[in-house]
């Protein structure tokens, strides 16, 4: 009985120390393996593509007015994991052509920029973003950039350094129940032992 309780507690502790997984988050393989992209090189807009370098991945707009060049990956995060990364917007257009870029997880923006909020034209300041997973599960991480209002003067988005770290443990709903059951089992075992010693 004690071994069972100890095993359950060890499983809970080891869960807190584990981190979810992301494939090729630092793009060290010099490609976008593990990622899905919507980029395509066209004769009209050869810049509409994904370029990998030692600075990360550069997504260029140009697929059409309000059509995003995107990069995405479905990843697993455990409760308490922290996903982080860096994003930088390159505004290559002028108002009223409000080219825009984003980094999001499950539709929640972690980074957002557009021409109207930038000192266009030119590169914006790199921004570090992070996300704390409150529950374990699969999450869709996505990034994108698009020309807005026209399909000229392609803006761009650079992303780099995606990583997942085990953060502070977020208690799972079943954790208190398991702990309570373990303590109850230990108490019952002690009572039985005390009765058998008295008999």
Q: Is residue 185 part of a domain?
A: no
The CA distance from 154 to 48, in Å, is 8
CATH of the domain at 137: 2.60.120
pLDDT, residue 175, reads 54
CB-CB contact of 97 with 114 (8 Å) = no
The per-residue pLDDT for 28 is: 85
In-domain check, residue 1: no
Provide the pLDDT for residue 107.
96
Please state the domain count of the chain: 1
Q: What is the pLDDT of residue 199?
A: 64
Instruction: Evaluate whether residue 75 is within a structural domain.
Output: yes
Residue 28 CB burial class (10 angstroms; 0-12, 13-18, ≥19) = exposed
Is there a domain that residue 132 lies in? yes
Supply the Cα-derived Rg of the chain in whole angstroms: 24
**Mean pLDDT, the chain cut into blocks of 10 residues (199 residues total):** 47 57 89 84 53 84 92 96 97 93 98 88 92 97 96 93 81 56 67 69
Residue 190 lies in a domain: no
191 domain-assigned:
no
pLDDT confidence of residue 14: 46
The residue range of the domain holding 148 is: 20-166
Supply the pLDDT for residue 161. 95
**b/e 85-110 (16+ beta carbons within 10 angstroms → b):** bbbbbbbbbeeebbbbbbbbbeeeeb
Q: What pTM does this model have? A: 0.73
For the stretch 94-136, pLDDT in tens is 989 999 999 999 999 999 999 998 876 888 999 999 999 999 9
Burial of 116 (0-12, 13-18, 19+ CB in 10 A): middle
């Amino acid at each position: 009985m004690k071994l069972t309780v100890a095993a359950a507690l060890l499983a809970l502790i080891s869960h807190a120390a584990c981190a979810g997984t992301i494939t090729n988050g630092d793009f060290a393989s010099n490609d976008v393996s593990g990622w899905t992209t919507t980029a395509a090189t066209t004769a009209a807009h050869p810049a509409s593509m994904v370029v990998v370098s030692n600075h990360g991945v550069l997504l260029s707009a140009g697929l059409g007015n309000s059509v995003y060049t995107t990069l995405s990956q479905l990843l697993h995060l455990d409760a308490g994991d922290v996903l982080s990364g860096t994003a930088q917007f390159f505004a290559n257009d002028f108002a009223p052509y409000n080219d825009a870029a984003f980094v999001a997880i499950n539709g929640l923006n972690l980074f957002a920029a557009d021409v109207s909020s930038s000192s266009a034209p030119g590169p914006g300041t790199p921004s570090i973003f992070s996300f704390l997973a409150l529950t374990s599960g699969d999450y869709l991480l996505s990034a994108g950039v698009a020309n807005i209002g026209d399909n000229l003067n392609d803006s761009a988005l650079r992303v780099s350094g995606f990583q997942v770290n085990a953060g502070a443990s977020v208690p799972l709903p079943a954790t208190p129940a398991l702990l309570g059951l373990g303590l109850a089992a230990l108490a019952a075992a002690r009572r039985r032992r005390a009765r058998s010693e008295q008999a």
